[in-house]
């Protein structure tokens, strides 16, 4: 049989873990230098252009 679980402590532990996960996502999203963001945007634009070139029928 398992031990007694304090629900208040378990809830707070879960909230701290969620907060840390969100912080890690934000660091990855917003913590990049301007040059790195520009490079990623340029790669995305290039990928979109390549996809458009491979389409069989152009969009109107």
For residue range 25-58, what is the model confidence (pLDDT) as tens digits?
999 888 889 999 899 999 999 999 999 988 888 6
Judge whether 59 lies within some domain.
no
- pLDDT at residue number 60: 56
Q: Is the dihedral of CA 36, 37, 39, 44 positive or negative?
A: positive
Rounded CA gap, 19 and 56, in Å?
46
Judge whether 24 lies within some domain.
yes
Judge whether 1 lies within some domain.
no
- pLDDT at residue number 39: 95
The domain total for the chain is 1
Judge whether 39 lies within some domain.
yes
Q: List the domain range (segments joined by +) for residue 30.
A: 7-53
Judge whether 12 lies within some domain.
yes
- pLDDT at residue number 41: 92
Look-up of token digits 């969100």: 22
For the chain, how big is the Rg over CA atoms in Å?
A: 22
- pLDDT at residue number 26: 93
Whole-angstrom CA distances from 5 to 13, 15, 36, 52 are 12, 16, 46, 56
């Amino acid at each position: 049989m398992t031990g007694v679980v304090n629900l208040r402590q378990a809830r707070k532990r879960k909230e701290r873990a969620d907060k840390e996960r969100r912080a890690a996502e934000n660091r990855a999203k917003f913590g990049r230098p301007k040059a790195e963001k520009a490079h990623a945007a340029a790669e995305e634009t290039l990928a979109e252009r390549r996809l458009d070139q491979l389409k069989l029928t152009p969009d109107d």
